[in-house]
Each structure stands twice: as C-alpha cells, then as structure tokens.
Structure 1
Amino acid sequence: MAVDADVARELKRQVAADLYEQGAAAVDEATRRQRGRALIADAVARWSDAYAVAHGVSPTREQDRELADTVYDLLFRAGRLQPYLDDPEIENILVNGCDDVWVSRAHQPLRQVPPVADSDEELVELLQDLARRHGGGERSLSTSSPTLALRLEGGMRLQALTGVTPRPYVAIRRHRVAKATLGDLVAMGSVDSTLAAFLASAIRARKNVMITGTQGVGKTSLLRAMAAEIPPEERIGTLETEFELWLHELGQLRQVVPMEAREGNGERVDGRAAGELTIGELIPAALRMTLSRIIVGEVRSAEVVPMLRVMTNGEGGSMCTLHARTPHMVVDRIAELCLEYGSQMTDALAYRLTANALDFIVHVTMIDETPVGGRRHRFVSHVLEVAGLGESGRPALNTVFGPAPDGSEPRAVPQTPPACLDDLRRAGFDAALLGNPYGTWGAPLHLRVHGGAPGGPAGGVPVPRGVPGAVPVRRQGGSSR
C-alpha cells in the first residue's frame, strides 16, 4: 500500500512535539536528526501496532520503512519534493500549485509528475518548514513576506511565491556540474582547448570578467571552473544571494571568505525590510577583508555599481555573472542596472564605469533541441574584449571569439586578437592558438537543425546535419568539418 499522507503528517507533528520537549532545538543538527530517527521509529512502530489491531493485518517491514522515510523527509528534508531533489538527472522542478508539478531532466523536455502535497496549504507549510531550517538568516513565506529564496541541501536553489499569485508557485534549479574545471568543460563540449587556455590565462593575468547569458545556460558552472584557475594561495571573497558557487567548500582555494545576503524579517522600516542585508551592502565590508579578488555570483540590481567600482579600483581578476539574452545587449543591461543606483547615475557614467572596469564579457548560449528529439547544448558562443570608450561614448567591444562567420560552428572560435594579448602571453597563453579560425574543436557541433550560427550568414535554409544532400564544411588544410 502507498504511504498515507495524512498519517505521515500526523506522525511528523508528534515527533516534532517530542523533539521540542526534549530540547532538541538546542543541539546541533546532526544530533537532532539522530534523535529524530529514533523517535520516528518508535512512532511508526506504535502506529503499525494500532493498524494491525484495527485491520487484522500488520503492515510489512517495507511499508513501515517507507512511512518512516516519508516522516523523516517531512521533518528534516523537503517532504514529497525530496525524491525529485535526490534524482541527479533532474535539472528543474516547477510547481504551479500542489497538484501541477513538472520536472525536466538532462536532455529531456518538461514532463508532469504526481502532486507534491494534498493541498496548497500543505505545500505552503512545507515551504515554511524549509525556510525555518534554512541556515542563512531570517527567511519566511507569509502574506507579509510573499517571496522566498533559499538554498536546499546539495546546493539547489528554490524560489517561491504565494499571496501575490493565485496559488503557491515554486521553481527549484539544480547545478548539475557541482565541481568542474575548464578541462571538464572541454570534455563536455562547452569550450574547446583553445578557449579554455585563453580563459585560464585571463584569470592568471588578473583580467576582470563578466559572464553573461540567460537562465540555466551554465553561467555559474563556467564561473566556478574559471575560479579554479585562481592561484590557490590567494585570498578571495564570494558574495551571493544564496550560496551556489561553494568555492569555500570545494577545496581548490585555501582562503575563501563566503558572504551570503540576508533577507528581511517582513517588517518594513523606512521603506525596506528590517534586517535585510544586500550584496551591494556587503561589498564595502568585503573590501576590508584584505581580499585579492571579489566574485559576485549574480549581479541583479544596483549592486552592479559597487561591483564595477571594485573592478576599477582593485587589483583586477574579479568576476561576476549577469543575465542577458545576447552578448551585445550586455552594455545596455549594465546601464539599466546602474540607473537603479540613484538619481546621480546617468547613461554616460554607466558606460564609463563599464569601460573602465571590465576587460572581457564571456557569453554562454544554449541551443535546446529536446523538442525535436535532440539534446540541450550549452557552450560559450562569444568572448568580447571591452576596449575602452568608443567614439559614441559607449564601451567599444572587440570580438575575440565568436561563432564561425560562415555559420558552420555556433560555438566560440578565434576571430580577433585582443589588445591585451601581451598580458595573456605573460600569463602563459600561446598566441599561436588564435591562428586557427575553427579553434580546436574536433568536429562541428552536432545539431539536428542547422541553419547558421547567430551572427552568421542570413537567408540559408535550415539543413539537418548528416542527411543526404548536406554539404560538409571543410577546415583549412582540407580536413572535413
């Protein structure tokens, strides 16, 4: 028989009350969970005996174990969401009310799965439990605080809304590449060895880098991989809304000062939530921690201004990510966020800050062919050098890497050497690598539908690769592409 959700919830409440009476709140989490396991076993045994008396048949050991696991998940983990969190192939969990739940797995489209709660009220209760157990300060979900953002076990990120939506809505995203190097990204097809060497030398040469792209394309994974190129003895700081980089736990860097923003407690004082501490407000404190570099997990708002100032005034080598649909939208996106900083900010000042602060913009792209039976391809498509202010007063951008001009390769290949090439050579980069117009990709990206890369020649009819009539593009020297 399936686990009775009402029984599991009642046993969870009983065990929670027993833990409270035993003063478990005052002990560490590992001890509390150990005590909880024992109390759950006792509670399930009592329920099983009562069930046998009432129905004349005893539940099996497997049924008792499933009930105990369900109660444990409700009390200490994510309840009926937990099986999806435990599945390493699941990338996204989308909840549009308790009974409208969707998941996407790697290289598979969204599909609907069973409900994660019997009512929206139960779903909100689960989210409130998760907020109370969150280790990053005061976080809650209520009518006075209708949004919730937190990290879950394993580094997954949860965003929830209620009160401002007809039903509670939840989005959970997993970073499937938890610990990666640039070499790993080469093996995955996100960058080739030429671009990996270029990015590694940019980090060693202390260039300031902004990684851009849309949601879910792999910006954080690339940032984590590039951070692995920082000399291990350097002291760096990370600033995040919720910890996702985990550079302080991966062991590649010996001195990391991790900082996490704090949400307010729902009360508002002078127009803002009491107790709130933003990334922008953490930056001044970070600067007093004797850090050689600062890494911001994601720039979302006015904190872009202090971040750009850090890049301008510091030793160099800082990094951040930013949401942008195309690489050539990034400059205007930065200006938009700068204007949120205050009335003293102007477009011209935002452009000057950008030109002075950034050395490179690295754009990550995803081509999703799961609707036509293919895969999701995530890769770096552009590396733009910020080459000071242009004649128009906007930052001048130099395309160092981009899609092949003939449309044969959407991934980044060498185009124009950067103005700072000598700096990269001093950091160990072999400039001869930029001489191959197709980089060091072993083969073109295998796409089911191929009609030219972004920025490539227009007007072509999409031709599936590998079908009769498709003409292979050839590399210089005659090798087939």
Structure 2
Amino acid sequence: MARELKRQVAAALHERVAQDPAAGTDQATTRQRGRALIEEAVARWSDAHALAHGVPPTREQDRALAEAVYDLLFRAGRLQPYLDDPEVENILVNGCDQVWVARVDQPLRQVPPIADSDDELIELLQDLARRHGGGERTLSTASPMLALRLEGGMRLQALTGVTPRPYVAVRRHRVASATLGDLVQLGTVDHTLAAFLAACIRARKNVMITGTQGVGKTSLLRAMAGEIPADERIGTLESEYELWLHTLGHLRQVVPMEAREGNGERVDGRSAGELSIGELIPAALRMSLSRIIVGEVRSAEVVPMLRVMTNGEGGSMCTLHARTPHMVVDRIAELCLEYGAQMTDSLAYRLTANALDFIVHLAMVDETAIGGRRHRFVSHVLEVSGLGESGRPALSTVFGPTAGEPRAVPQLPPACLDDLRRAGFDARLLEVSPHGSWAAPLDLRIPGGGGRPGGETR
C-alpha cells in the first residue's frame, strides 16, 4: 500500500510542480508539499479501509503508513532506518530479502527485507539515483552499475543485470570530521605519529594513504587535510564526494570536483559525457591550486596524479587500495600500465620514486567473531627515498609494528627529518619506548600479529 500511495503522491506532486516550476527547485518546499499530499492520501486510504472492513485503522497505523510513504518518496524507503542508525557501518543487500547489516564491533547480522520484490528494490535504487545522482546516474540494463553518495556522506554501489539479483553495498564513514587528535582518541594513531603526520602536511610532503576497504583511509586523509593552512587553495577530486572538505569549514579555499558518469550512449567506446578523475586533473591545475587531493586512485589517473606530485609545490595526497604496505609500489605500477602502451614498469617506478615522500598504511584486526572488537590503526609509515639499486623505489620503515605491537611505532628517523623539524616537529618524540607513546600494547584477545621488529628496508 505504501508503494501505491507513493506513486499517487508523486504524480500529484509532479502536477503541482508543473503548475509552479519555481517551487520545484526548493527542496524544503517540495518536501513540505509532499508531506501535505501524503497526509491527504493516507486520510483517503483510511476512510476507504474503514468502509471496506468496518473498523478504521488506528492513529499509529496511519502515522506509520505516512512515514513509510514519505521515506519512499523523499528518502530511502525501508532502507532508511539503517541509514539513520549511527551504529551501522555497512549494509549488504543480495536481493530484496537477503539484507545484512554490520554494526560497530559486531559481526554481520541478517535483517528483514527492504522491499517486497527485486523489481521494487530496483525502483527504490532508481529513485535514489534521480535524487542523489546529479541528473546523469541511473540503474538499468543499459547502465547496470550505480555509484551514489547519500545524505550524510554514505556511499552506495549497486549492480543489476550483470548479477542474478540486484546487489547493493552501502558504506558509512562514521568519523565524518575527525582531526588527528580525534584519531588519537580512537586509537588509530598515537601522539607521536599524529605529530609526525601533521608535520608532513605542514612541510608539504606528498603522502599516499593505503590499506584495504573499510580501514579508515578516507577518515585519515580528511584528518590530515585538517592540518593544511585555512587559506591555502586546494582541489579535491573524487568519484563521489566523500571527503566533504568544502563543507567542514576549516578550509576556506576548496575547489571540489566530482567525476561524471556518461549518459549511456557510447562514443568511441566510452559513454557520452563521461568525465574521469584523470581528465579533471588538467582543469584542476588551471585553478591556481597549491595542493591536489584525490579521494581514491583506482586506475590510470594515478599517472597524472604522480606527475602533479612531482611537478607541483608538494603537499598533495591520495588514497589507494593495497593489502600490505610493501605491495603498494607494485600496485601503483599495475595502475600505471593502464595508462597506455608507452608506460613501462621502469617508468612507473621512476614516477613513484620522484612523486611520493611517504606511504601511510592502515590495517585492521577484526576480533568481533570471538567477542572482541575491530581495531583500526596505522601499521606502517614508509619513506620513499628515490630509486634503489634494483630500479625500484627505495622504501625505509620510519614507523612500523614490532613483535608485541601491531600498531606503528618509531623505527628509523626519516631522511627528511630536518624538513619536518622546520615545520615544527619535535624529533625527540622519536626517542620513545618500544611501544611508542601508546600507554600499553594493543589489547587483543589473541595477542600477536605484529610485524618484523626493527626497521625493515626494501
């Protein structure tokens, strides 16, 4: 019934907007009008139900139906309660009736269906695409993949047509506006590493943040960006806005750029109107930016990104998916090879060595299956010191784990320590205990999992 009333109200609202187009541009006014139309539609349904069954619905039933219609029309339908729950980190949908939710420090649990059929689920996703997709994103047989940013910065990825049923994954960044100090409190870094990373930003070092999915790369990138002077002009390039540096208030000169999907019409093998992050970088360079931040490097855009880091003033940042810190160099080379036939491993290695100053790697130890919690933390900070004898970038472990501590603690002083000292870093912080400035080793139910003791150089 909620779905049918939603369609009736949507048609009535469309007619109202057609009569007064200016009102349709004001989201608050549109929702207010929609709320009034929903109340009228529910009242008509309630009267009809009373005539048909001899018993009127209760006020609570009317109110619940009105909220369900409102959520379908303006929000995310039966998915909305999970989006509103701040404890929910991930939502996984494998068809309308196979819905799984991961809450903070809890394993996945199945929850009730979010639609009565897969067709209804696809309709919900299409509605979300119209409201949040910037006009060009859709989900259909012609466009079977959908990526969206939802209210509150959540990211949705959906597939249909190429899968037996509609599949959806929603990820929430629970730490939306954390500073490095906040990440100290959360246990991601200790005071020493927080001071070190802040100095890297002030000293305009180029930093790549790596790790697997869900370990907190975006949150750390956002926190480190909080150390950029407020009046510096920076650009952010993302597939879908997740950093939100242009809305958080600290930085007053942010040029946010978002990649654009095509409209489905193929031109020379590409969707018409498509703009990739790599194609946005040249335009970004003409915006008088002092730093460029790429939310996530996924493909051939790594090459223009590395060139920006090499030729610019320094201080640019990006994130990259990689399982271990010492896989990062080969991961970069793999993406560089997507750039074109003129790219080679040796050129990719040289680009990496010239562009990057530090690789900051995040890890997670998940003990929720045995009654523990998820521990997310920086495990390594690697300094990139030019090309090594093998023709690969030379890496040295400035911060890394020890046999009894999986989190990053000081190992070897960086070669650029004087630059960091000029940026206000107190080098005496590196002269600490084997556990860094952590009060005690990480409290794990199954101890261990640390890396090689001492500073590893490869």
Which band: TM-score by shorter chain?
Answer: over 0.9
1:456 is displaced (CA, Å) by 4.9
* Candidates 167, 185, 188, aligned match of 1:187: 185
- 1:290-439 map, 5 Å: 290-404=288-402, 407-436=403-432, 437-439=434-436
| Inter-partner Cα distance in structure 1 for 2:332 and 2:67 | 47
Residues 7-41 of structure 1: per-residue CA shift (max 9 Å, x gap): 10110000000011112663322211111011001
Residues 190-237 of structure 1: per-residue CA shift (max 9 Å, x gap): 100000000000000000000000000000000000000000011111
SS of the counterpart of 2:199?
A: helix
Query: Do the aligned residues in 1 keep the contact of 2:190 with 2:436 (CA within 8 Å)?
Result: yes
- 1:5-404 map, 5 Å: 7-23=1-17, 26-404=24-402
SS of the counterpart of 1:453?
A: coil
Moved over 3 A (4+): none
| Inter-partner Cα distance in structure 2 for 1:64 and 1:237 | 48
| Inter-partner Cα distance in structure 1 for 2:198 and 2:63 | 50
SS of the counterpart of 2:153?
A: coil
Structure 2 CA distance for partners of 1:137 and 1:301, relative to 1, 3 Å: farther
Query: Do the aligned residues in 1 keep the contact of 2:405 with 2:448 (CA within 8 Å)?
Result: no
1:135 is displaced (CA, Å) by 4.5
SS of the counterpart of 1:23?
A: helix
Residues 105-126 of structure 1: per-residue CA shift (max 9 Å, x gap): 0000000000011111110111
Residues 446-468 of structure 1: per-residue CA shift (max 9 Å, x gap): 000013413359xxxxxxxxxxx
| Inter-partner Cα distance in structure 2 for 1:159 and 1:456 | 40
1:267 is displaced (CA, Å) by 1.2
1:290 is displaced (CA, Å) by 0.5
SS of the counterpart of 2:363?
A: strand
| Inter-partner Cα distance in structure 1 for 2:118 and 2:265 | 25
- The TM-score, its normalising length taken from structure 1, stands at 0.92
Can you give the 5+ residue segments of structure 1 that lack an aligned partner in the other structure? 1-6, 458-481
Residue 456 of structure 2 is aligned to residue 455 of structure 1: no
| Inter-partner Cα distance in structure 2 for 1:333 and 1:309 | 17
Match in the other structure for 1:473:
none
| Inter-partner Cα distance in structure 2 for 1:64 and 1:409 | 56
Identity, % of aligned positions: 84
1:136 is displaced (CA, Å) by 2.8
| Inter-partner Cα distance in structure 1 for 2:123 and 2:293 | 35
| Inter-partner Cα distance in structure 2 for 1:171 and 1:439 | 37
| Inter-partner Cα distance in structure 2 for 1:287 and 1:395 | 26
Query: Do the aligned residues in 2 keep the contact of 1:137 with 1:262 (CA within 8 Å)?
Result: no
| Inter-partner Cα distance in structure 2 for 1:341 and 1:272 | 16
SS of the counterpart of 2:365?
A: strand
| Inter-partner Cα distance in structure 1 for 2:283 and 2:395 | 32
SS of the counterpart of 1:341?
A: coil
SS of the counterpart of 2:236?
A: strand
| Inter-partner Cα distance in structure 2 for 1:136 and 1:296 | 20
Query: Do the aligned residues in 1 keep the contact of 2:400 with 2:451 (CA within 8 Å)?
Result: no
- The TM-score, its normalising length taken from structure 2, stands at 0.97
| Inter-partner Cα distance in structure 1 for 2:58 and 2:449 | 60
1:137 is displaced (CA, Å) by 3.9
Question: For the aligned residues, what is the CA RMSD?
Answer: 1.0
